[in-house]
Amino acid sequence: MGSMPRVAVIGGSLGGLTAALLLRDLGCQVSVYERSQEELEAKGAGIAVLEATWRYPVERLGVPADDFSAKTNWVRFLEADGSTEFEERRLYHLSSWNAVYRVLLHGFGKENYHLSSEMTSFVDDGAHVTIDFSDGRTDVVDLLVCADGIASEVRRTLLPEVSSSYAGYIAWRGVIPESALSQETFDALYDSLTYQVMENSHILVYPIPGLGGEVEPGQRLMNIVWYRNVPPEDFEEFLTDINGDVRSVSIPPGLVKEQDLIKMRADAQALLAPQLAEVVTGIKEPFLQVVYDIEVPRMAFGRVCIIGDAAFACRPHAAAGTAKAAEDGWILAEELAAVGGDVEAALSAWELRQLALGRSLLARTREIGYRSQVAGTFKAGAPDLVFGLYGPGN
């Protein structure tokens, strides 16, 4: 086995941290560079935790998934009157970006996790990659892993022809403490992933850990993801926040215009099952995320690669975005080990596999989104709605 490369990971979120941990385990010297000035605690949104996401914490850190996720045993689809249209037993682990991040960062440690470190450019000379940061620092590595997210500057630089395509809808997000719900609503929702299908829309409601990591029912948060169409011609106005800034990826909590909140809450009262309307209208600071498709023709470029949302960004319907980012790291470590640390050989083998995964996930999630938001053929309990990275339930 040759010697393992020295690695820089750009982006210290879930994708970057998982890759960094796996490459370090392989014997690489790894530094993570994150542009935020503070540890990334702000993103309060829920994520369903699939195997690729919990695999590192469970297998390598010995932290059981139950410690950082809420468990639900049921999937339910409600009618508008609140009755159950369909239900089945299905176990899901539901967590939050915060809870998973905390476990991974604790595992990696802070010594080589550098905040306030924004990469501004890099040069791959065939033997090494030289990286420049906005404050004038530089680093020289053998492998540059870019996990810089959906708005990736690295993707824009390496693949200027790739653009993100707006899916035609946004997701309203937000959380409310379970303790703030009526007993009836809590009883109806605490042990399930609950859906409601509407004309050109669907909503998911599920519990996630509390802000302090609490996983006991009653002490957690109830989280929503409500997909609503926004026609392209209304997009710019809709994505203008209270400060007049036009956003592209999301409008954070507290910055959504009052008139849009009023309309959203009124729609919730009119359209949603009473239990779900109670959750949605009780959320103090709803926020929203825009749904995009991004497809890349390449992920490896000499000694540089792009992973996670920096490469393919997929609609959230398979709940697999974080799992895909983590899987990019698992397979990279596997291919690097297989060739004894030869970066370019590993990246070519890795790219073939990850391009195939990205394309299949994108196709699957596009199709589910089309059925829900356009065609009206999104059906309660359809087997292919089961979450999964490689396929439903997988």
Ligand X SMILES: Cc1cc2nc3c(=O)[nH]c(=O)nc-3n(C[C@H](O)[C@H](O)[C@H](O)COP(=O)(O)OP(=O)(O)OC[C@H]3O[C@@H](n4cnc5c(N)ncnc54)[C@H](O)[C@@H]3O)c2cc1C
- List interacting residues with ligand X (CB under 6 A): 10-16, 33-36, 40, 47-48, 117-119, 147-150, 153, 171, 225, 289, 308-310, 316, 319-323, 325
Tell me how far, at minimum, the Cβ of 48 lies from ligand X, in Å: 4
- Judged by CB, which is closer to ligand X: 203, or 323? 323
Tell me how far, at minimum, the Cβ of 322 lies from ligand X, in Å: 3
Looking up tokens 């209270």 gives 242
- Judged by CB, which is closer to ligand X: 310, or 333? 310
Tell me how far, at minimum, the Cβ of 83 lies from ligand X, in Å: 26
Structural tokens at position 80 = 């508008």
- Judged by CB, which is closer to ligand X: 11, or 341? 11
- Cα separation, 78 vs 85, in Å, equals 5
- Cα separation, 342 vs 324, in Å, equals 23
Tell me how far, at minimum, the Cβ of 306 lies from ligand X, in Å: 9
- Judged by CB, which is closer to ligand X: 159, or 341? 159
Tell me how far, at minimum, the Cβ of 159 lies from ligand X, in Å: 15
Cα distances (Å, whole numbers) of residue 46 to 70, 88, 173, 224: 10, 22, 9, 8
- Cα separation, 15 vs 311, in Å, equals 11
- Cα separation, 154 vs 256, in Å, equals 29
Maximum pairwise Cα distance, the chain: 64
- Judged by CB, which is closer to ligand X: 304, or 323? 323
Residues paired with residue 16 on neighbouring β-strands, in sequence order: none
Tell me how far, at minimum, the Cβ of 111 lies from ligand X, in Å: 18
Looking up tokens 């690669």 gives 305
Structural tokens at position 14 = 């879930």
3-state secondary structure of 162: coil
- Judged by CB, which is closer to ligand X: 9, or 341? 9
3-state secondary structure of 356: helix
- Cα separation, 290 vs 273, in Å, equals 24
Tell me how far, at minimum, the Cβ of 186 lies from ligand X, in Å: 22
**Residues 272, 278, 284, 285, Cα dihedral to 10°:** -20
- Judged by CB, which is closer to ligand X: 18, or 185? 18
Parallel, antiparallel or unpaired: strands 250-251 and 119-124: unpaired
